[in-house]
Structure 1
Amino acid sequence: MGDRLVVLYNDHLPYNRERIESLARTVYATEEELPALLPGADTLLAWWPLSPAVAASWPDDPAKAPRWVHVAAAGVDPYLFPALTGNPDVVLTNSRGVYDQPIAEYVLGLILSLAKDFPGMWDHQRGRQWRPRDSERIGGRTVLVWGTGSIGRAVARLLRAVGMRVSGAGRTPRDDDPDFGTVHGPATLRTGLGEADYVVLAAPLTPATRGMVDASVLAAMKPGARLVNVGRGQLVDEPALVDALSGGRLAGAALDVFAQEPLPAASPLWELPGVIVSPHTAGEVVHWRHDLAELFLDNLLRRAEGRPLRNVVDKEQGYVR
């Protein structure tokens, strides 16, 4: 039996916990229990990944901090606090890869819904109204995928497969990327924004990306373009987005993530025309928790056998390189 593992959970536990328990002395902690159970633990599995409890419960004594933290999500922004990132003895891993194809399929579905106005069609159906109208094609339309990690790449590959013209936006510009072709860096970002019919946000939330889609970025987008956000809500200045949508500069948006979740009932995003709201579910498909649990188990076995861990996060950058 290995060192102590603490599993932070909310309303459910990992399905394969018997196998996990065979490899580590496992204890389960709610947010309220975590401050008492985290100090002295060797490993933390953040099965409830969006909880702020880890930062609040992190031991003051670095010697009592976990040596490995695994996050059951792709984004690790709640774990980029100084006591963790500044401790060189702490390894942070995430669940990169589990969400790639599900989110890519979700983005394609959102783009189709916007282009074909499926929400309007469903409204007419509920009203028993027969209203034929033209819809838009997506083939040949231009997409800028902002975020060139594994999720952004899966999005790019799928959108290319249905005939869309795709480019990327990231920190390092290049013209020969296998998935994006052209990747716009900061110097040419405005050009990419001005050409895109759809801008898809798939970037991680880091100090460098927080609020990156502000009023100036929205103004640089092509008039009549649409925004799709499957990254993090805090990437976007929501009041500026509401202004761009209300004023008609943007034709619409499909938003799966928000600055505050659940999205408050008073938010104008609920009722703005051309806006699709979904409750942070782009990556949640049948058996997604199974895949999350299996990835952690594989890393737990790797650690027990002294092999390199998968998905080690660069704590300075906030994502897996």
Structure 2
Amino acid sequence: MSRPIVAVLCHEGHRPPGMAAVEAAAEVRYTSADGLPAALQGAQVLFLWDFFSTALQNAWHAADSLEWIHVPAAGVDKLLFDELRSSGITVTNARGIFDRPMAEFVLGSMLAFAKDLPGLLSQQRQQAWQHRDTEGLYRKRALIVGTGSIGRETARLLRAVGMDVAGAGRTARAGDADFGEVFASADLAAVVPGFDYVVMVAPLTDQTRHLVDAAVLDAMKPTARLVNVGRGACVNTDALVAALQTGSIAGAALDVFEAEPLPRGHPLWTMENVIISPHLSGDARGCLPELAAQFAENFARFTGGEPLLNQIDKQLGFAAPQ
């Protein structure tokens, strides 16, 4: 193919690293959101390095030659507006890069609850010496809602520390290599009573929005905890606040929220049974070069006429298994 044009949406001074091979093979146009319409004219490829941006929808009229969009993130729900869904443009994501960091973050959140790390740190600040027993994770049961690559890596890690793991996905099945049994997400309220931890790693789709609602939270054990590192809107925030306030569940570790940043003064901030982190579970040090290298590898496939990796099913809203 002739020398392609690649538009890269990024903040000024924050270009992706390791782009030399792409720059050697293509005309690369680095742009902020304001310049995106001009950069898209004639471009075959869009690299959304600023993956939180929603600028593409407003610049869509200028995408006259676009064939492929790459998003260096796991979730693509903010990108898939109707015109893009119905187009023939291929969308790919960063499947695989965040699996291990997010799995480790889930395990860390569980350990924080089991060993009461927030309470220990509070005592340390008060110079208070107060012995007490803590919990274990061995043989505790975890339900992982979301059976993609992040969920599978999480399942493998939790099994390695002796937890019993099952999954929840679009369809129920038995004999899964990583989860053993997979329950249907639609049956979540009937399934959660058997688990000590419910871990949300599902993408945000029409089917998963508010999947964890008042009925699911009410059905959980009063000793159970919710861990959400997937998408904030997969959990009904008002129902979660009520469940935490009434003791319907024992706690929640939340890395994602329906509104981000979590507004100042929100009741979740001051709950002693809640661990809050600012959407960073997948952001391990060194991931930026990996994300750029993944795009460069896929770009080489694009110019070579090979199938692209991590293609998104735009109707489902997530990448099909490799």
Report TM bin, short chain: over 0.9
Give 2:9's aligned residue.
8
Give 1:305's aligned residue.
304
Q: Contact between 1:39 and 1:58, CA under 8 Å: does it hold in 2?
A: no
Say which of 28, 31, 34 aligns to 1:32: 34
Deviation at 1:303, TM superposition (A): 0.9
- Distance, in Å, in 2 between the alignment partners of 1:308 and 1:202 is 27
Deviation at 1:192, TM superposition (A): 2.2
Query: Judging changes above 3 Å, is the alpha-carbon distance between structure 1 residues 19 and 67 closer, same or farther for their aligned structure 2 residues?
Result: same
Give 1:86's aligned residue.
86
Give 1:203's aligned residue.
202
- TM-score normalized by structure 2? 0.96
Q: How many percent of aligned residue pairs carry the same amino acid?
A: 47
Query: Judging changes above 3 Å, is the alpha-carbon distance between structure 1 residues 266 and 216 closer, same or farther for their aligned structure 2 residues?
Result: same
- What 5-or-longer segments of structure 2 have no aligned partner? none
- Distance, in Å, in 1 between the alignment partners of 2:186 and 2:94 is 31
Q: Contact between 2:171 and 2:183, CA under 8 Å: does it hold in 1?
A: yes
Deviation at 1:274, TM superposition (A): 1.2
Query: Judging changes above 3 Å, is the alpha-carbon distance between structure 1 residues 294 and 109 closer, same or farther for their aligned structure 2 residues?
Result: same
- Distance, in Å, in 1 between the alignment partners of 2:165 and 2:109 is 16
Between stretches 44-53 and 141-150, larger displacement belongs to 44-53
When the two chains are superposed, the root-mean-square deviation of aligned CA atoms in Å is 1.4
Equivalent runs, 1:176-215 vs 2, <5 Å: 176-186=175-185, 188-215=187-214
Query: Judging changes above 3 Å, is the alpha-carbon distance between structure 1 residues 190 and 239 closer, same or farther for their aligned structure 2 residues?
Result: closer
Q: Contact between 1:140 and 1:165, CA under 8 Å: does it hold in 2?
A: yes
Q: Deviations over 1:101-152 (max 9, x none)?
A: 1110111001000111101101111111111111111111010000000000
- Distance, in Å, in 2 between the alignment partners of 1:166 and 1:131 is 33
- Distance, in Å, in 2 between the alignment partners of 1:133 and 1:56 is 57
Runs (4+) of structure 1 exceeding 3 A deviation are none
Deviation at 1:310, TM superposition (A): 0.4
Equivalent runs, 1:16-165 vs 2, <5 Å: 16-59=18-61, 64-88=64-88, 90-165=89-164
Match of 1:47, SS state, is coil
How many residues are matched? Answer: 318
Query: Judging changes above 3 Å, is the alpha-carbon distance between structure 1 residues 211 and 56 closer, same or farther for their aligned structure 2 residues?
Result: farther
Deviation at 1:239, TM superposition (A): 1.0
Deviation at 1:189, TM superposition (A): 2.8
